[in-house]
């Protein structure tokens, strides 16, 4: 199977074989005529499982380098790894590593961890501020139910308890601004962020054509992303190094 890859995470500058999830992946760098690509021998693995495995690998890279990574898919049936022709234009180029590609990670064993990394890559890759925001929020939902009980919502309270743990400068700066205007910042992030994006029946609603909505979310997203990253790093114990 031969698949093209779009994204900005680190990538080897020469053909490199790695072992991931019990299978060998061949990574090819981009050339003037071809895209960067991943190739896998389908012996002992189905087409679907091979694509899932490649997606899991891309999610690890996206997490480690905090960059978008997209499986552009391709074809199977060639006896040897083929090349993926360059598209008319794919924005976002992978950065070739001048120091080799010391990748020694493996597929995560925990279902929760695999889902968190997949959601992180999806959020990091999607070209939509509202849906990127919602993607990070879904990572929070892995840990806390979005349900009210005895007047409290576990997801809102999870945000409240996580905020003191944040160290990201952009998140802290946005929190200071919100504290000056919002009486309950976690509830604001939930109602004017998560709910406003996911629903379109009653206010608050995020209008993707309204630049004021997009600007607000582009600032609020720093907080939700920082919480998601904290949960993946601290709670799930996932390293951001490709070497371990």
Asked if 159 and 223 sit in the same domain, the reply is yes
In terms of residue numbers, what domain contains 153? 111-235
**Tens-digit pLDDT profile for residues 145-179:** 999 999 999 999 999 999 999 999 999 999 999 99
Residues in the chain: 244
Asked if 88 and 121 sit in the same domain, the reply is no
Nearest to 125, CA basis, from 65, 207, 35 = 65
Model confidence, pTM: 0.90
**Tens-digit pLDDT profile for residues 197-237:** 999 999 999 999 999 999 999 999 999 999 999 999 999 99
CA atoms within 13 A on the CB side of 179: 9
Percentage of the chain surpassing pLDDT 70?
95
**Residue 82: predicted pLDDT:** 79
Helix or strand (DSSP H, E) at 40: strand 37-40
Distance CA 60, CA 126 (A): 16
Model confidence at 80, pLDDT cuts 50, 70, 90, reads confident
**Residue 74: predicted pLDDT:** 86
In a domain, 131, yes or no: yes
Asked if 7 and 65 sit in the same domain, the reply is yes
Boundary-marking domain end, from 97, 122, 157: 97
Asked if 231 and 115 sit in the same domain, the reply is yes
In a domain, 105, yes or no: no
In a domain, 92, yes or no: yes
Boundary-marking domain end, from 97, 130, 153: 97
Asked if 116 and 221 sit in the same domain, the reply is yes
Question: Is the distance from CB of 35 to CB of 84 less than 8 angstroms?
Answer: yes
**Tens-digit pLDDT profile for residues 10-42:** 999 999 999 999 999 999 999 888 889 999 999
Overall number of domains in the chain: 2
**Residue 75: predicted pLDDT:** 85
Distance CA 76, CA 235 (A): 38
**Residue 29: predicted pLDDT:** 93
Asked if 82 and 118 sit in the same domain, the reply is no
């Amino acid at each position: 199977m031969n698949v093209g890859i779009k994204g900005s995470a680190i990538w080897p500058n020469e053909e490199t074989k790695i072992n991931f999830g019990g299978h060998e992946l061949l990574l090819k760098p981009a050339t003037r005529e071809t895209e960067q690509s991943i190739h896998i021998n389908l012996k002992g693995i189905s087409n679907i499982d091979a694509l899932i495995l490649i997606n899991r690998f891309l999610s690890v890279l996206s997490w480690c380098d905090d960059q978008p990574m997209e499986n552009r898919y391709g074809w199977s049936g060639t006896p040897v790894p083929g090349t993926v022709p360059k598209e008319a234009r794919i924005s976002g180029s992978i950065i070739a590593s001048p120091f080799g590609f010391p990748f020694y990670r493996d597929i995560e064993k925990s279902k929760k961890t695999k889902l968190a990394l997949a959601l992180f890559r999806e959020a990091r890759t999607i070209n939509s501020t509202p849906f990127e925001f919602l993607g990070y929020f879904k990572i929070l939902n892995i840990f806390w139910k979005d349900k009210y009980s005895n007047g409290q919502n576990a997801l809102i309270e999870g945000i409240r308890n996580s905020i003191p743990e944040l160290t990201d400068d952009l998140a802290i700066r946005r929190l200071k601004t919100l504290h000056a205007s919002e009486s309950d910042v976690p509830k604001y992030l939930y109602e004017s962020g998560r709910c406003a994006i996911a629903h379109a029946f009653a206010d608050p609603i995020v209008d993707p054509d309204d630049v004021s909505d997009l600007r607000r979310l582009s600032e609020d997203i720093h907080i939700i992303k920082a919480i998601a990253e904290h949960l993946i790093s601290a709670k799930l114990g996932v390293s951001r190094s490709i070497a371990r």
